[in-house]
Each structure stands twice: as structure tokens, then as C-alpha cells.
Amino acid sequence: MQPGILTGAFARLLATFTVLALCATGHASATSTEKARCFGTEQLSPPLREKSEALLLQALDTEHLFTIATGLKPMSAGFFRADVSLFAPDMDATEAEAVIATQGDANVDALDATDRAELETARRARTRSQALEEIEDVRSILATWRCGGQIHADLVHYAISRGGERQVHAVVFALPSVRQLLTDKAAFFSRWAFTPSANPLEVVSAVEYARDATRFAGYGYLFGYPDEAVQFFATASTLQDVTGSFVVRDFRAIPTFQRDDGQFTYAVSRGEEESTADRELKARAAKILEAYKARRSDYIGEGKPGAAALLRDWFCPSESRCSPADAAL
């Protein structure tokens, strides 16, 4: 995720959704997991399994790899996105399909004002319904992205809408890394009363709704940026709010399978030399990427096992023990 995305806003999660997530992950710990249950997408229907493979490959080919394998980044977000209209059309999905079936092929200019308005409403209703159906499918898919009590994937919502639509993004957490972050940065995260067992979705929501520089710092920590970069980004955002002037900066880019820059990327002061923390982070990421590349060609392609199988074979040294945090490098 690029630094500019940090200025977006996650919406409050529905209370029931949060409770379910808390039950699933709030007190999760690294435990032994049968290999078949590590990214056990076989339980999905064939169409959803195919979609899961596409989403998982997209995640692994980008910066999400560094969260899923070893937990170098506590959190990554954005391998799936959907846009949902804020306004529910005054027409249900069944009625919308009937209207479109009747008038959809008609010359719109030939329709009277009433029929034209009805057709437009029907199209909006169908678009919204299709988006919600896809979101429901992706929720089902992400529920299978678990392994050894260490991985949790879910959907979060941006609070700030644009163009009358709200964005929904997929997010993946390395739970041991989140817990370690909440321990190491307790002086920062404890202002929200977070302890190491806090649910990561709660953490994201609290950081999002901070109305000061702690929002930028919180995201920086969650995305795995070095301390100096987190401090620069928070300070620069505050200075920009005060002065109205953009603070010039340089960027550090860590390569992914897809791209050498623009994905795992963070800002630093203009002209600042590469630090020890920058070099160490880049070196650790390079080892993970090298290990992934060494496996990818054997698993990805026509007739090959696929992304989920790649992770199971990578993370599970036996049929009864799986550990993404200990992925062989």
C-alpha cells in the first residue's frame, strides 16, 4: 500500500461483525494446525475456490507476501477492493432485474421520463446488489485464509466516501506480529487501552478514527515501516496541517514480485541517507521474496497445484504442524 493511502479512513465495523471477529481472532495464539486446515480453500465451492486462488496470488505477488510469510509486516491491505453506493435504490434486486429485462435493450432516448427514471433506478439497484454479492463471496473466501492461529484476513471499510460510494478493502494480519507490535509499542498503542491480545480490527478502527498525527503513526507501525519513517510521516502530516504546505520527501521502496516500487513503500525526509533500519528491512524482505520466487514457478500455472498449496507446503513441515511465522527462507 502506498503512503498516500494512509490518509484514507476506515469505517466503523458493524458491532456484530466485530464480535464475530473477536471470537475468531481476539485471543488467537500460534497453535498446531493440520496441514489441510492451513488455507483450507477446498471447503469452498469450485467458483469461490477459483476466485480465492486469484486473490491469494494477487496478495502473494504484492506486499502482502511479507505479512503472510513470516509476518515481517504486521498488516497489509488492498489486494481486493469493492465500491458500494451509499444510497439504496427504491427497488429490490428482483424488481430491478425484471425492469432491465423488459427495458434494458430499449433505446433510452425513446423512453418517456418515467420509464427512463425507472430503468436508471434498476441499473443502480443491480450494480449495488452485485457489489454486495461479491463482498459476501469474498468474506467467505477470506474466512478460509487461516493457518496455525497466525493469519487472519477480513474486510474493512473506509469511512470517507467519494463520489457517493464507500470503498471496502481486504486486509490480512500476521497475528503474532500484531501482538509483538502491541507489546513493543505499548507506550503508543496503550492510549487506546490495547493489550497484546487486542483484536487487530479494533486496532485498525481506533487508529483510523484518531483525529491527529497518531492516525499516521498507527498505520505506519501496522504496515511495518521503520520507526524513523513513522515519525517523519506523522510529523510531516502535522506540519502540513499547520502550514498548508506539502512537506517534500523521498521514498524507500522494497521490491515485490510484481514491482520494484510503489507497493511496500514509505516516506523519509528529502535527502536522508539510507539507515540501518532501512537496510535491514530491505534485506529481510529480499530473503522472503527470494524464497517465494523459488517456489512460485512450481506451483503457479496451468495444471499446477496453486497458491494455497504453495503456502501449505511452505508453512507445514508435517501434516500436523504449520507455522507461517517460521516459513523456511
What pLDDT score was predicted for residue 21?
Answer: 38
Q: What is the pLDDT of residues 239-266, one digit of tens each?
A: 988 899 999 999 999 999 999 999 999 9
- Domain locations in the chain? 3-309
Percent of the chain at pLDDT above 90? 73
What pLDDT score was predicted for residue 157?
Answer: 86
| β pairing state of 249-254 and 264-269 | antiparallel
Cα 328 from Cα 288, distance rounded (Å) = 9
Least Cα distance to 145 among 33, 221, 293 occurs for: 33
**pLDDT for residue 213 is more than 70:** yes
What pLDDT score was predicted for residue 33?
Answer: 67
Q: What is the pLDDT of residues 80-120, one digit of tens each?
A: 999 999 988 889 989 999 999 888 777 777 788 888 889 98
Cα 226 from Cα 224, distance rounded (Å) = 7
Cα 98 from Cα 53, distance rounded (Å) = 34
What pLDDT score was predicted for residue 17?
Answer: 35
Q: Which three cell numbers stand for residue 326?
A: 517460521
Q: Which of the pair, 10 or 251, is modelled with greater confidence?
A: 251
Q: Are 314 and 295 in contact (CB under 8 A)?
A: yes
- Global pTM reads 0.85
Confidence of residue 7 (pLDDT cuts 50, 70, 90): very low
Least Cα distance to 175 among 148, 141, 151 occurs for: 151
| β pairing state of 75-85 and 249-254 | unpaired
Q: Which three cell numbers stand for residue 83?
A: 465500491
Q: Are 66 and 72 in contact (CB under 8 A)?
A: yes
Confidence of residue 3 (pLDDT cuts 50, 70, 90): very low
16-33: buried (b, 16+ CB within 10 Å) or exposed (e) per residue? Answer: ebbeebeeebbebebeeb
**pLDDT for residue 2 is more than 70:** no
What pLDDT score was predicted for residue 29?
Answer: 42
What pLDDT score was predicted for residue 26?
Answer: 37
What pLDDT score was predicted for residue 160?
Answer: 79
| Distances 22 to 142, 197, 234 between C-alpha atoms, Å | 15, 10, 29
Q: Are 315 and 322 in contact (CB under 8 A)?
A: yes
Residue type, 223: F
Confidence of residue 158 (pLDDT cuts 50, 70, 90): confident
Q: How far apart are the first and last CA of the chain?
A: 24
Mean pLDDT, the chain, rounded, equals 88
**SS3 letters for the chain?**
CCHHHHHCCECCCCHHHHHHHHHHHHCCCCCCCCHHHCCCHHHCCHHHHHHHHHHHHHHHCCCCHHHHCCCCCCEEEEEEEEEEECCCCCCCHHHHHHHHHHHCCCCHHHCCHHHHHHHHHHHHHHHHHHHHHHHHHHHHHHCCCCCCCCEEEEEEEECCCECCEEEEEEEEEEHHHHHHHHHHCHHHHHHHCCCCCCCHHHHHHHHHCCCCCHHHHHHHHHCCCCHHHHHHHHHHHHHHHHHCCCCCEEEEEECCCCCCCCCEEEEEECCCCCCHHHHHHHHHHHHHHHHHHHHHHHHCCCCCCCHHHHHHHHHCCECCECCHHHCCC
Q: What is the pLDDT of residues 44-61, one digit of tens each?
A: 999 999 999 999 999 999
Q: Which of the pair, 241 or 171, is modelled with greater confidence?
A: 171
Cβ–Cβ contacts within 10 Å for residue 160, how many?
12
